[in-house]
Structure 1
Amino acid sequence: MADAKREIERKFEFTTTEAEGRGVPDLTGTAAIAAVTDQGTVELDAVYWDTPDQRLAADGLTLRRRTGGADAGWHLKLPVSPGVRDEIAAPLGDTVPRSLAALVRSRVRDTGLEPQVRLLSSRRVSHLLDAGGNVLAELSTDAVRAERDRAGAAWTEVEVELADNVDPALLDAVEERFAAAGLTVSHAPSKLARALAETGHEPPARTEPGPAGDTAGGHVLAYLREQRDALIAHDPAVRRGLPDSVHQMRVAARRMRSAFKTYRKVLDRAVTDPVGEELRWLAAELGVDRDQEVLMERIQSRIGEIPRTLALGPVRSRLRIWNTRRRADSRRRALAVLDSKRYVTLLDTLDALLAEPPLRPAAAEPARRVLPKAVRREHERLARKVAHALSLDPGQPRDVALHEARKAAKRARYAAEAARPALGKRAKRQAKAMESVQTLLGEHQDSVVAREALRGLAGQAAGAAESAFTWGLLYGREEAVAERLERELPEVWAAAHEAAAY
């Protein structure tokens, strides 16, 4: 089983040979640092693995097999933000561990991983302590030698990595102290990046053709590429079970599919429609796990709102058992999808489509001429959906119509968000207005789904000779919520319609 930890660090390099000769200054007295203790020197031997075209390095990921030191093993580092990475560790072995290979699959796909660079480091380690003797950070001074093919490079690097729960402001204080001693923040984000640069093997920049940025095609393709990249980037987080990751990955898929439909004057739907169907499949499969998570949170919240005297029978235990079974199944299903050939084919298809986009004549026209029409068309489509839903009597047909209106509101919102770089404030206003409608209709649909779940829980309780009273009470409350939202919809829609008007 792989272990994970969050790294918050800053790397430094000497600005001159003279500064390097003086070495690292004493940090005692810097911010909360009361003492610096020498921990000795370790010899590290790390081999970095990547695809032949360096897909991991291009996205800022590093995968290495390292011996020496206290944490020998395999390490995968995933960028979170500048100076912050998640390190996933696995036991030492001769081949890439399956747990780590899975986390890079959205980048690697069917291409093999191979040794690329070897880094030999002589590391002198010190601990930075506070007045109570607690470790604030680890200070490492590395004499590094890089080897790739017949090329080589050598340099000295200084790294300060914070201990858990230490204020990152400490790094700013260290940086200020280092600057006075001739050390500056390293330009390279990692040892691997520097090794590749100094041996002449930097990963090739990703270039994808398309019309100029101010054209309709330029803006739509930029948006689609952003969503494609988000889809790939969220894949490891979904596999790790990180909060909100499924939702974010699902949103990226939906945004791409929505853009294919909205901007059909820009991209040929004969090409994009089949891809959109695959994105719909992916979002739906991922949604099984996400929807269960949202549903569980909703029912738990509703139980917390009622007096304890009305919670008859083992309500919370029944809910917990029900959720555990459903989440286990949905989690397995989501991971199976990400491990499937169909998913990898979808990612390859998206890359191919964006490398050779099926542009229509409107793609070459100015964005300000083409995009507003598409955004307005989605708004008008939503207006028809809302009007139809409001014309129906309360009940199942209206619930279905409101759900369709919700999907139309989401599509109208995505259309405006995609157009925002070109249209500015008016697209932002449109997106915000559509979000208000989407939120209300989403709450309504959540109530519909919750009522169906509560009906099932009541049946399970009755079948186990438990009281079904509480589940019926919660069902009635959800009905009241839905009725209130339906009464509010005309006013919310009128305000959104007016705010979104061009």
Structure 2
Amino acid sequence: MSKSTTPLTRALEVELKFATSPTTEVPELSSIVGIDTVASTVVHSLSARYYDTADLRLTRAKITLRRRTGGKDEGWHIKLPSDKGRIEIGAPLSDDAPQEILDPVRAIIRDLPLQVIAQVDNERHEHALADDQGTIYAEFCDDHVTSWSLLPAGIKQEWREWELELTPAGQEFEQAPELLESARAVFEAVGAVPSASPSKLVAALGNSINYAPLPPAMAELDEETAAFAVVNALRVNRDRLLEVDPQVRRDEWDSVHQMRVATRELRSLMQTFEGILTGEEYLNLEEELKLLAATLGIARDAEVVAERFQMLIGLDDDNIIDDASGEHLAHDMQRKYERAHRTILKVLNSKRYFDLLEGLENLIVNPPLAPSETESASVADVKHEEEAALFEHLVSAYKKLMKRHNVAVTEWEETETPLREREENFHNMRKAAKKLRYSADAVGRATGLKTKDLYAACKTMQSVLGDFQDSVTSRDELLALAESARKHGEDTFAYGVLYQREREIGMEALRGYNEAAKDIEEAYKKLSKSMKKEAARVAAKSQKASDAKDN
């Protein structure tokens, strides 16, 4: 694909869509709340070609990619769903889709070829709607549409529709909700009805979408087996990774954190499910997820520390932060984050990342089940083996957590041990709590046992130690800033004071540790009894099925 050297346009699309008959007259638009006049009217001749993969991955994700000629914004456009409307990203007209236009959906299409799936021609009568000061709050479009679906069984269609889209000024207009509601009433009063189709593309495709091949789907597994719960859990987390990918590319708030969480959860689940799913490729995917999480972690840590530095600045009521230190605290970590985010973008556009996504897809479509899953074993035998593997992971995870807990608590009082090592013990404890949490979740999904208490207790422990670790990371960065300041002859007093404040904040976070550890122990003991009963029940059922088979 070609590279665009022109900056992309980006807009939030907030609109109403109505279907209407060819003979319906446009109502008096100035009767809409907030609108006093039609500032201008212009007619455009538009022609758009829509692109997608053969199995319509973009369309099924409610994303449209088009190349449009004519009108004031001809060029390439990709429209993405969002909470407040649709995000439209545009690029200048070119023969091929610019790389920058495709970047937001690379996780979905990867390197799959794109093809034209529909053409939509439109005679658009566009009316700019303004208040009495001439501020344009909305655009009303009277569209006369002719479309062709290029999918198998596709047909030509013609229809008329109205769109009312808020301009940027309209989106900031305090009466925007009233404007939209009033427009709805005005259009419905003359017989227009809300459009049943979310976009012109969906309307153009019509029933022909049913003739397109489907994307690879999750393997069909017996829902009574743990394998089904396992693969379904991986699918849910994989989908979350795909969902947050474009948000990271747009650098939306907290998106790096959410992608890191999704990546870590996937890896932890895969570790927990070893024994049900197997194979070298399976283990390779775990390693790739680990590397991706590490890349995301650099940016995430910088993001967290930048926020903590802002908090520390806000606590400086005795004005100990000098100008040079304040400048470093306010901007250095943000610059570090921006560098790390650029690295993330390179990774997300790499073949290695696309291979990871393809590997996850193959894992869900063709899961590498342990041998007993593919032999003639009974459902009872399979369930017995699967639950045994899950229980073994959970027991192992708990034992590891308790071992790390004992080390953390014992060595914390041993002041001859370097502070950094003692703090690292709690970081290891946090990782153990995370692993136990995911193991509990996996057991709950696959067996129906009530694991929510253990899950919640581990989550609380992660939160306690997460706050503590954030404090430790912040102190590390303060030390680095102090060392740099010292080399440049700058005052380092403020960094020392802030370091001590962070130490106190970290110690305060640890106050909840003992109670969190106690809750984990109690929740595990309760669950352990249930696991033993469930294991005995399934084993008996398996033995009964085996005896019946022998007879």
Of 301, 309, 312 in structure 1, the residue corresponding to residue 311 of structure 2 is 301
Q: Which amino acid aligns with 2:158?
A: A
Match of 1:393 in 2: 412
Displacement of 1:289 after TM fit? 1.3
Structure 2: 5+ residue stretches without partners: 1-6, 374-378, 414-418, 528-551
Q: CA deviation digits over 1:77-117, x for unaligned, max 9?
A: 11114x82111111222221121122222222222333332
Of 145, 155, 159 in structure 1, the residue corresponding to residue 159 of structure 2 is 155
Displacement of 1:272 after TM fit? 2.5
Displacement of 1:241 after TM fit? 1.7
Q: 100-109 or 34-43: which moved more?
A: 34-43
Q: Is the 8 A contact 1:6 1:84 kept in 2?
A: yes
Residue 347 of structure 2 corresponds to residue 323 of structure 1: no
Match of 2:251 in 1: 241
Change (3 A) 1:155 1:368: farther
Q: 4-13 or 262-271: which moved more?
A: 262-271
Aligned pairs for 1:78-227 within 5 A: 78-81=80-83, 84-130=85-131, 134-149=135-150, 151-163=155-167, 164-166=171-173, 167-168=176-177, 170-197=179-206, 199=208, 203-206=212-215, 207-213=217-223, 215-227=225-237
Q: CA deviation digits over 1:104-136, x for unaligned, max 9?
A: 222222223333322110112234445665433
Distance 2:129 2:487 in 1: 62
Q: TM-score, normalised by structure 2?
A: 0.81
Q: Is the 8 A contact 1:216 1:365 kept in 2?
A: yes
Change (3 A) 1:359 1:173: farther
Q: How many pairs align?
A: 497
Distance 1:473 1:348 in 2: 50
Distance 2:142 2:246 in 1: 31
Match of 2:4 in 1: none
Of 278, 296, 301 in structure 2, the residue corresponding to residue 291 of structure 1 is 301
Displacement of 1:326 after TM fit? 2.4
Of 377, 389, 402 in structure 1, the residue corresponding to residue 426 of structure 2 is 402
Q: Is the 8 A contact 2:303 2:334 kept in 1?
A: no
State the identity %.
Answer: 35
Distance 1:45 1:20 in 2: 20
Q: CA deviation digits over 1:368-420, x for unaligned, max 9?
A: 97898479544554344323311223523321221111112223334455666
Change (3 A) 1:20 1:428: farther
Change (3 A) 1:359 1:186: farther
Distance 2:521 2:267 in 1: 24
Match of 1:413 in 2: 437
Q: 70-79 or 364-373: which moved more?
A: 364-373
Distance 2:244 2:53 in 1: 20
Displacement of 1:467 after TM fit? 1.1
Q: Is the 8 A contact 1:389 1:402 kept in 2?
A: yes
Q: 146-155 or 48-57: which moved more?
A: 146-155
Q: Which amino acid aligns with 1:4?
A: R
Q: Which amino acid aligns with 1:209?
A: A
Give the secondary structure class of the aligned counterpart of 1:278.
helix
Displacement of 1:425 after TM fit? 10
Distance 1:442 1:235 in 2: 24
Give the secondary structure class of the aligned counterpart of 1:71.
coil
Displacement of 1:280 after TM fit? 0.7
Displacement of 1:429 after TM fit? 4.2
Distance 1:475 1:390 in 2: 23
Q: Which amino acid aligns with 2:42?
A: G
Residue 495 of structure 2 corresponds to residue 485 of structure 1: no
Q: Which amino acid aligns with 2:144?
A: A
Structure 1: 5+ residue stretches without partners: none
Residue 471 of structure 2 corresponds to residue 471 of structure 1: no
Change (3 A) 1:65 1:480: same
Give the secondary structure class of the aligned counterpart of 1:189.
coil
Distance 1:496 1:200 in 2: 50
Q: TM-score, normalised by structure 1?
A: 0.88
Q: Which amino acid aligns with 1:294?
A: V
Which has the greater radius of gyration?
2
The CA RMSD measured in Å over matched residues stands at 3.1
Residue 95 of structure 2 corresponds to residue 55 of structure 1: no
Q: Which amino acid aligns with 1:454?
A: L
